[in-house]
Homo-oligomer: A and B are copies of this chain.
Amino acid sequence: MKTLAAFAALALISTGFAQEVAPEAPKYADLAAFQESSGYAIFTANNIWMMVATALVFVMHLGFATLESGLTQSKNTVNILFKNTLIPCIGLLTYAVCGFNLMYPGADYAGGWFGFAGFGVSAGNEVANLTDVYNAGYTYWTDFLFQGMFAATAATIVSGAVAERMKLSAFLVFSSLFVAIAYPITGMWKWGNGWLNNLETPFYDFAGSTLVHSVGGWGALAGVLLLGPRLGKYSNGKVRPILGHSMPLATIGVFLLWLGWFGFNGGSVLSANPALTSLVLVTTSLAAAAGGLGAALTSWVVLKKPDLSMALNGILAGLVGITAGADQMAAMSAIIIGLISGVLVVFSVIFFDKLKIDDPVGALSVHLVCGIFGTLAVGIFGNLAGGAQLMSQLTGIVAIGVFTFVFAYVVFLVLKLTMGIRVSAEEEIEGLDLGEHGNEAYPDFTPAHKS
C-alpha cells in the first residue's frame, strides 16, 4: 500500500502542472500565412515521417513485452506483461511531467550538466510553437511524443534482466525514477546540447547505442547484481538453463523490434531528409541481418546446433550496434558492425553466465555490450573514424556509464533496504503471476483433444 500511495502522489503530480491551459483553436490567420510559404509542404512531410517513426517506436514496447515474456517461464508471464504494459504509461506521463524538460532544457542549464525547463508540457497550436527551437522542421508535440516513446524504452530494457524474481512494486518505483530523472539527464548531455555535445571533438551517438541502450544496460546490471541470480540457476558450479515458455512470442518480439527500429533510427534523423533517412534504414537493416546471421553461425559452431534464441538476439545485437552511427556508415561497414555484434552477443551471453550474472533474456549482452561496441564503432568505421573521435566516444561511454550505474545502484539499494526488491523464495517457485497479481497467463488454456 505504500507503493500505492507513492503512485497516487505521482498521478496527482501528473495532472497538476498548473501552468497548462487548453490550447486555443488554431489561429488560421497565422497558419494560413505559414501554409502559403514554400516551407510548409516539407514541414508537413517531416512531421508525417516523425509521426510514423513515433508509432514505430511505440511498437517496440510490444516487441519488448513479447520478447521478454517469450524468453521466460509461463508462471511469470503476467508479471512481465504487466510491467511492460505499465512502463510506456509511466514513461509517457513522467516525460510529460518532467523528463522532456530535463532532457531539453533549452539554454537554461549550468555547465552543460543539468538543466530544467519547468514542470509540464504545454504548447498551443500556434505557428510559433509548431517550429520549436529544438526541431525547426516539425511540431513541438511530435517532438515530445517521439522523445517520450524513446525514453520509455530505456526502462523496458531493465525489465527483462530483472525478470522472474523482482518485486513488482519496487520495479515500478525504480523504473519511474529511472525514466523520469536518470535517462533525461544523461540524454541532455548529448541531445540537449550539453557538455558531451560540446567537447572539442563532440561525442557522437546518432540514435542512442549509449544514450538509450547502454543506459538501459547499466540500469539492468545494477539491478541484477543487487538481486542475485534466480533460484537454482547456478548450483554446484554448474549453469542450469532456465528456458523460456514460447519461442513464437520471442520471435514476434524480435521482428517487432526490428520494425520499430525503422522509427528508432529512421526518426532520429529528426526530419524526412531523403538522403539521410534512406541511408539510415539501409544501414540499420543490413546490420540487423548481419547480426542475425553472425549469431546463428556462431551458435552453430560453438553450441554445435543453430540456436534460435541466439539468432534472435543476434538481430537485436546488430541493431544496437549500428544505432550510434547509422547515419555515418557505408553498407559494408554496417554489415561488418552487425556481424561483429552478432558474434559478440553469443560469447557475451556465455561470459555473463560464467560470472554467475543471471540475465534471463540476454539484455546485458544485447544492450550493454553491443551498445558500448556500437558507440566505439563510430570511431573505428565510417565517416567519423579517427583517434580523437574514439577518445570522445570512450569519454561518453564512461561518463554516462558511471552516472547511470551509480544512480541505479543507489536507487535499487535504497529500495532493497526499505521495501525490498526480491520476492520470497516461495513466491519465486510458485511464480510471480500468482504472487504479485493473483492472475495466471493461461488460465483456461486446454490444448488439443489430440488424436
Contacts and interface: CB of A to CB of B under 8 A. Distances in A.
B437 A448 contact: no
Contacts of A329: 22
Interface in A56-110: 56, 58-59, 61-62, 65-66, 69, 72-75, 77-78, 81-82, 84-86, 88-93, 96
Contacts of A255: 59, 61-62, 65, 85
A120 B331 CA distance: 9
Interface stretch (A135-143, A187-195, A396-404, A417-425): A135-143
A350 to B, nearest CB: 16
A74 B41 contact: no
B308 A437 contact: yes
Interface string A425-444: 00000000000111111111
Interface residues on A, range: 35 or more
A448 B440 contact: yes
Interface stretch (A154-162, A209-217, A258-266): A258-266
- Per DSSP, are chain A's interface residues mostly helix, strand or loop, or mixed? helix
A156 to B, nearest CB: 12
Interface of A: 4, 7-8, 11, 14-15, 17, 20-26, 31, 35, 40-45, 47-49, 51-52, 54-56, 58-59, 61-62, 65-66, 69, 72-75, 77-78, 81-82, 84-86, 88-93, 96, 120-122, 125, 130, 138-142, 144-145, 148, 168, 242-249, 251-252, 254-256, 258-259, 262, 266, 272-279, 281-282, 285-286, 288-290, 292-294, 296-297, 300-301, 303-309, 311-312, 315, 328-333, 335-336, 339, 381-383, 385, 436-450
